[in-house]
Amino acid sequence: MRAHSLSLGGLQVSWDDPADGQAELTLVGELDNLSAPVLRQVLAGIDSGGGHDVTIDMDELRFVDSSGINELVTAWRRSRQQGGTLTVRNATEAVRRLLEMTGVADMLAPPS
């Protein structure tokens, strides 16, 4: 069970307090124009708490639009500027295709 959860629109974000500079988020639902601010808020809180290596689990994320992609790329850039990382994992086929079509898959979900 996650220690924290925040929802807005069709998105639920769950996460534990960062430990040893590591944080993992789980996204459930849809990351779009309405719900992107909740992800931004959670990531800002993690950044201020010292968690700079962030993994986002997208196993239950059904949809992402351009606002969601923009939020992920912005968070990735911010993490890199602070010397950290931001990666996504377990993207569904539809979400993975969108990441590939927009050219951000290699940045956000590098092959392991």
* pLDDT tens-place values along the chain, 112 residues long: 458 999 998 999 999 888 888 999 999 999 999 999 999 999 988 876 666 799 999 999 999 999 999 999 999 998 888 888 999 999 999 999 999 999 999 999 877 5
| Domains observed in the chain | 4-103 (3.30.750.24)
pTM of the model: 0.91
CA distances (Å), 108 to each of 1, 19, 74, 87, in order? 25, 21, 11, 5
